[in-house]
Amino acid sequence: MNQIASQAKEILLSAFSKSASDIHFSPDENNTDIHFRVYGERHFYKSLPTPTYQKLLAYFKFTSGMDIGEITKPQNASLQHRDQFQLYHLRLSTLPTINNAESLAIRILPPQDHVNLARLFLFPYQIRIIRNWMIHKSGMILFTGSTGCGKTTTIYSLLETILQEHSIQAVTLEDPVEKNLNNIIQVQINERAGITYDVGLKAALRHDPDLIMVGEIRDEETARFAVRAALSGHLIVSTIHAKDAYGTVQRLKEMGIKTVDLEQTLIAIASQELVRTNLTNDVPKRAAILEILHNSALQAAIHSIPPQNDSSFVPFSALRRKAYALGYWKN
């Protein structure tokens, strides 16, 4: 086991050194290829004999608290790894494949204790906008975007920034908890133990929260309860999968949320995307831009009117042109 633990540590340290955001283990009958995703691009790292990978997989499953004997169902867990300098938060996910094999993906979360909002976004004015949303006492703020675009990192940074400035009771419901936050009640969703998002939301409301962060609105039941919580005087911040900011409104309607409830609860929607930068090494090599839907453009979208003609709405295409013209962005 010591040898397997050393191999696991070597892979993790190599990924950290290359600023990888993900590690992918792809097994076949004889070999397992390992790839790192670095600044959005997938790079081959090395190949291992599949029997060696099976031992590594068992090691990662054991140390993260997964069921080692379960190979027919997907599993998710989180893990922390400390090197000489920093503490890294890892999110692990297994997926059964053919021939009784399992693939493993490890998401590497930013190691900083607090990720400064100014380091996340390309345009400072967008930071000011989303910070202003957080002054609301009730309502719903949603972030959408593709997997790995930094939605959760943005929300974490927002929460930490607000907590530095105000004393609030904040509760998070996550599956899994991606990063331990100080002075915040964090709840791990565990559907096998009966702790679903719906159950967690009901329990969270008994803790007198000012703000509830829901890791993801993924079904009608969670969407309806989040709206009810917002209507009852709580600020809800969450993520949802949708094509873009306008599509988020349509997605909520498909989940059975009434137009009148959207009018009463939705504060804003931000669709997030990462772009490569031409900036110095003092800042990330990728930064976020936001397609923001709020104010009159949001109200129009709730009534199924596309926001393109509203001056408060700036689509991704215009944001990319602006970034390119300012010399921030490269293809």
For the residues of 237-256, what is the DSSP string, one character each?
A: EEE---SSHHHHHHHHHHTT
Task: Tell me which of 103-107, 122-126, 173-177, 315-319 is least confident.
Answer: 173-177
Our measurement of the distance from residue 168's CA atom to the centroid of its chain's CA atoms, rounded to an integer in Å, reads 22
For the 2-109 domain, the top CATH level (class) is alpha beta
33-70 residue pLDDT tens: 999 998 878 999 999 999 999 999 999 999 999 999 99
- Pairing of the two strands 235-239 and 266-276: unpaired
Task: Tell me which of 104-108, 122-126, 305-309 is least confident.
Answer: 305-309
Top pLDDT among 77 and 190 is at 77
70-86 residue pLDDT tens: 999 999 888 888 877 78
Q: At residue 171, what are phi and psi to the nearest 5 degrees?
A: -125, 135
Top pLDDT among 205 and 115 is at 205
* pLDDT bracket for residue 100 (50, 70, 90): confident
Per-domain residue ranges for the chain?
A: 2-109, 117-325
* pLDDT bracket for residue 283 (50, 70, 90): very low
For residue 8, the SS3 value is helix
* pLDDT bracket for residue 123 (50, 70, 90): very high
pLDDT beyond 50 at 129: yes
- Pairing of the two strands 139-144 and 170-174: unpaired
Q: What is the predicted pLDDT for the residue at 87?
A: 83
| Average pLDDT for 293-313 | 91
pLDDT beyond 60 at 284: no
Among 96, 82, 103, 86, which Cα is nearest to 22's? 103
Among 197, 298, 285, 308, which Cα is nearest to 21's? 285
Question: How far apart, in whole angstroms, are the C-alpha atoms of residue 76 and residue 117?
Answer: 28
Task: Tell me which of 84-88, 230-234, 251-255 is least confident.
Answer: 84-88
Question: How far apart, in whole angstroms, are the C-alpha atoms of residue 216 and residue 226?
Answer: 10
Top pLDDT among 10 and 85 is at 10
Provide the token pair at 50: 């599949």
pLDDT beyond 70 at 114: no
Task: Tell me which of 167-181, 229-243, 261-275 is least confident.
Answer: 167-181
Task: Classify domain 117-325 by CATH number.
Answer: 3.40.50.300
24-35 residue pLDDT tens: 999 988 899 999
**Where do we find the tokens 């006492």?**
137
* pLDDT bracket for residue 291 (50, 70, 90): very high
Question: How far apart, in whole angstroms, are the C-alpha atoms of residue 279 and residue 265?
Answer: 38
252-279 residue pLDDT tens: 999 999 999 999 999 999 999 988 776 5
* pLDDT bracket for residue 104 (50, 70, 90): very high
266 within 8 A of 139, measured Cβ to Cβ: yes
| Average pLDDT for 239-256 | 93
Question: How far apart, in whole angstroms, are the C-alpha atoms of residue 15 and residue 83?
Answer: 12
Mean pLDDT of the chain: 88
